[in-house]
Chains A and B, each alone.
Chain A
Amino acid sequence: MYGYAGRVLRVDLTTGKTRVEQLNTEIAKKYVGGIGLGMKLWLDNSQAGVDPFSPDNPLILTLGPISGTMFPTAGNGHAFVSKSPATFGIGEAVAHGTFGAEMKRAGYDAVILTGKSEKPVYLWIDDDSVQLLDASHLMGKSPAETEDAIKDELGDYYIRVASIGLAGEKLSRIACIINEKTRAAGRTGMGAVMGSKNLKAIAVRGTRDIVPAKPDEFMDMVKEFHERMKGPATQKYRTLGTPENVLVHNALHCMPTRNYNNAHFENAEKVSGEVLNEKFVAKIIGCSSCAMRCEHEVIVPEGAYKGTMTRMEYETLWALGPYCGIDKLDAIIKGMELCNYYGMDAISAGVIVGFAMDCYEHGILSKADMGGVEANFGNAEALIQILEKMGKREGIGDVLAEGVRIAGQKIGKGAEKLAQHIKGLEVTGYDLRCLKTAALGFAVSFRGADHNRHGAYAFDVKGKVDRLKAEKGRGRMVRDMEDTYALIDSFIVCKFSRGTYYKEMPDMAKLYSLVTGFDMTPEELKKAGERINTIARVINVREGLGRKDDTLPWKVMNLPIPDDGPVKGAVVTQEELDLLLDDYYTARGWTLEGLPTTEKLKELGMDDALRIVEGKQEA
């Protein structure tokens, strides 16, 4: 077998038993790998309504068919899939680095983790040897410390580790799973699911051969893509990196600022990608097999946070900076380091701090509530203090670690309206009031508020559509982008490389065919992308989500952009949202309640999902 390892590892943490099963090739072809395969395996291995922290909620780790090969960016990704403790729908998060390639070389396409260990353990996969080892001495350690300790005690420097920090151990709903110190499977609280199983880390060493089905043609394609990656399609990532967005978004007044009170940050110049690169970036490094490199490693050279070192990207810089009204880059970098230290999704963490500051300024949270922290917008010290409290779940941090939706409900007094999330997942750095294609993409995203499920902001930001207008046709645009993005996360290739696939589906189909030896046409591949989005929908339907949850944060629909400028007064009305949703569901071939129809499921060869949606479609 080529491309796929052909094996699935099952680990029951309750009994400690492990078992290797054959990969079902038909399922693999239909759902590709990565998040697609992960969601299918999750659906088949769980019961409706399972609590995310129940031992019966499987946590699934998947690799893609391209993992472990030399294809640039494709060799190195891995995905975690489970029911999300943040959204109570399907959760998934992808990370890159070297962990995925190592796991593939150990000979697995997926690892299904079920049950709950009595004591803290970590999973040690050494090719065919699989063991659960005591992790009590690792508890409380950061992912970076855990990684070093495991490498030390197992005595192999090339072991790769994905682990949780204190946030995951304490079931924070924004906990992530971090590999190689700075790479995070960040969103939807996968680290908390891992923590709920008493599983501190997964360590892997893989030494098997990976050979593509057609090595010579494959190497020609690799060569072609190496050239493409040196070209304009990846230039942004190789130079300023994603923080370039700070000034771009700010100029367009689409950078949510101070918990969505503004769409423009007056001090953006101080936290721009330009300043970051000039004053803080020490080196730009790359993942295994990558030919472009994007990871901007920053070091604070002086001041109170001197010596702080971490990776920086736009989303996290935005969340910990402008979203909290903070214009001090060194503090933002410190905040990012703290998120990595405790193992928190830094996007969600920043949005939560912004939310807490908004509550404080509205008098909903007092200084006493905040444990003495003066949580005004712009207070960089407060950012650090609140993040510390969240990481340790101390004081107000205990409530905030639940994410803005649950924290808003617990705090009450109108805090719910200040909680900017969709389906319980915190927003990301695009002001949806003036990016209406993105607004639709965010509303229907199966994992909640996120730009990485569709990338629909590109149409708005690049001026390909009137970004202030909600109109028919946006549904198709979002649908097509969703299908592509689902495939990217299933192959798994890096989203930063998406521009190098000049002919999107034909290029990707060729790559799949050369690696696996299965003939894949562009049309079939497109259908697989649709199938992956549909199974996510089916899962969410089974877990009780529907059209009512395809909505937007309160401020996006109720607080018009106040800033003087190109988009003053912009907001998304209920009528506009309804129009967009109808258009999207129609484009998908779903009912207006957002349910896949029987015909559609049959067309996609998903007859096994019929039992879940049938009977609900007419309701």
Chain B
Amino acid sequence: MVRPQDRKFVTADPEKCIGCTVCEYACSMTNEKTYNPTKSRIRALRLGPLNNLAVTCRHCEDPACIAACPRDALSQEEDTGIIIVDENACNGCAWCISACQFGAMMMHPEKKVVFTCNSCKDQPDGPQCVKWCPEEALSFVSAQQLAQKSRLSAVKNLFQEAKEKTAEAK
């Protein structure tokens, strides 16, 4: 049994993401056998030249999408946190889409049911967007690992600043 804080999800580093959309191409080819961003489970967004970020499902605990679904079409896998869509039960009402804070729930343009990131669980080498990202901006991590990473870089920066200040004082 995997604890919720150990569930892995795909996340993008805003410092590294450049909005090239390679993740969208890799995702749609892997999952839908086509190059079509509207069928990708991860979407890159460029707010301006400097502000780029790819966003997908974060496999939240107590997901808002599931709570919002009036037809019980959504469920969450215990171990992975992946949101499973029962395509027979979903009628495309889009309540889950408005409930998700990350825009990670999307309407499939042909099936007219929602879809979201499945962590490429059938792929032996994991999420394909992570594998293909040319900037290594994407990673498949748990919240624990993400916190450790942030903590490490924060502390490193702190010591770097301290060093610089000491150098300046001299």
Contacts and interface: CB of A to CB of B under 8 A. Distances in A.
B124 interface: no
Contacts of A508: none
Given A70-B25, A215-B29, A226-B134, A293 B18 contact: yes
Given A207-B38, A210-B36, A283 B29 contact: no
Interface in A76-115: 98, 105
Closest 3 CB pairs of A and B: A70-B25, A209-B34, A286-B20
A204 interface: no
Interface centre among B21, B33, B132, B135 (most CB of A within 10 A): B21
B134 A208 contact: no
A182 B49 contact: yes
Interface in A270-318: 282-293, 295, 297, 299, 309, 311
30 contacts: A68-B35, A69-B25, A70-B22, A98-B21, A182-B49, A207-B36, A208-B36, A209-B35, A209-B39, A210-B35, A210-B36, A215-B29, A215-B33, A226-B132, A230-B134, A282-B50, A283-B49, A285-B18, A285-B20, A286-B20, A288-B20, A288-B21, A289-B20, A289-B21, A290-B22, A290-B134, A291-B20, A291-B134, A292-B134, A293-B20
B163 to A, nearest CB: 21
Contacts of A309: 49-50
Contacts of A284: 18
Contacts of B109: 207
B52 interface: yes
A297 B29 contact: no
A230 B36 CA distance: 25
Interface in B32-73: 33-39, 45-46, 49-50, 52
Contacts of B46: 180, 285
A180 B37 CA distance: 18
A343 to B, nearest CB: 17
A70 B52 contact: no
Contacts of A292: 134
Given A105-B36, A210-B35, A219-B29, 9 more contacts: A70-B22, A180-B46, A210-B34, A211-B34, A285-B52, A286-B18, A289-B22, A290-B134, A311-B49
Interface string B4-45: 000000000000001111100110010001111111000001
Nearest to B38: A207
Nearest to A223: B132
A290 B20 CA distance: 6
Interface of A: 68-70, 72, 75, 98, 105, 157-158, 180-182, 207-211, 215, 219, 226, 229-230, 282-293, 295, 297, 299, 309, 311
B8 to A, nearest CB: 24
A209 B49 CA distance: 27
Given A70-B35, A292-B134, A285 B19 contact: yes
B56 to A, nearest CB: 16
Interface of B: 18-22, 25-26, 29, 33-39, 45-46, 49-50, 52, 109, 132, 134-135
Nearest to B15: A283
A173 B82 CA distance: 56
Contacts of B36: 105, 207-210
B19 A286 contact: yes
A284 B52 CA distance: 11
A99 B109 CA distance: 21
B16 to A, nearest CB: 10
B50 to A, nearest CB: 5
Nearest to B19: A285
Contacts of A210: 34-36
B123 to A, nearest CB: 13
B107 to A, nearest CB: 11
Nearest to A297: B49
A84 B109 CA distance: 41
Given A105-B36, A219-B29, A291-B22, A283 B50 contact: yes
A293 B135 contact: yes
A431 B45 CA distance: 41
Contacts of A207: 36, 38, 109
Contacts of B50: 282-283, 285, 297, 299, 309
B18 A229 contact: no
A293 B16 CA distance: 12
Contacts of B52: 285
A107 to B, nearest CB: 12
Contacts of A229: 134
B49 A75 contact: no
A290 B26 CA distance: 12
B14 to A, nearest CB: 10
Contacts of A293: 18, 20, 134-135
B35 A211 contact: yes
Nearest to A207: B38
Nearest to A157: B45
Nearest to A288: B21
B52 to A, nearest CB: 7
Nearest to B135: A293
Interface centre among B25, B35, B36, B50 (most CB of A within 10 A): B35
B9 to A, nearest CB: 23
Contacts of A290: 20, 22, 134
Contacts of B26: 70
B70 to A, nearest CB: 26
B165 to A, nearest CB: 21
A289 B134 CA distance: 10
Contacts of B29: 70, 215, 219
B25 A289 contact: yes
A322 B30 CA distance: 49
A129 to B, nearest CB: 15
A497 to B, nearest CB: 12
B48 to A, nearest CB: 8
